[in-house]
Amino acid sequence: MIKAILTDIEGTISSLEYVRKVMFPYSKKNLRSFMMEHKEEDIVKKTIRELSDKLGKSVDIEESIKILESWIDADLKEPILKEIQGYIWEEGFKDGKLKGHIYQDAYIKLMEWKEIGIKIYVFSSGSVKAQKLFFKYTDYGDITNIFSGFFDTKMGSKKDKDSYLKISDEIKLKPREILFLSDVEEELDASREAGMKTIRVLRDGIEISSKHKVVEDFSSISLNSFID
């Protein structure tokens, strides 16, 4: 019996295009101004220090900006980048320049699941801070109360079985009691290897070979099909 939903964001709950064509460019466009404006604050000093440690050499603010910009272009799932992006996006959300995109079918289904007592969690490469901001500023208003918890890559790679075992342990449920939703085959493979139930959400309607059940939107998902 499914007791919890664990879901990805990009391409699953939200449009992949919105994240990549709006949010990522916004963070790159505003990275330099944010770093320079807050250069005496802990978040920027911490970012530079962590970059220096990671690269094994001392880097200054100019080099740090260039490195982070290149990571944005490469869409690296790097925690150092994800954390600073979260702070940049925070300003954008609060200023009304950004708004979290949520598919209507996902919003309706998430609300239905919450109402019947299903716990809902998020596992995304974006930082927990960024996730909470994303769901606080949406077309449906603040919907953070739908979720019982948020996880990012501090739990490990989304393509690593151990990450899902850690999440299962954290929320105190057996893996088989959790349904993971994602548009990425490798993430679903890892979660299934950990023992979770899986569904691949493919919103573009393209037929694709998958080892997992495939749906085009959340309205097609029935938890009754996973009764043991």
Fold match between domain 4-15+99-226 and domain 19-94: no
Packing angle between helix 42-55 and helix 61-74, nearest 10 degrees? Answer: 80
What ranges do the domains of the chain cover? 4-15+99-226, 19-94
- Tell me the average pLDDT of the chain: 94
pLDDT tens per residue, range 110-165: 999 999 999 999 999 888 988 999 999 998 999 999 999 999 999 999 999 999 99
Query: Architecture of domain 19-94 in CATH?
Result: Orthogonal Bundle (1.10)
pLDDT higher than threshold 80 for residue 14: yes
- Domain 4-15+99-226 part of CATH 3.40.50.1000: yes
**pLDDT for the residue numbered 227:** 65
**pLDDT for the residue numbered 127:** 87
pTM for the full model?
Answer: 0.85
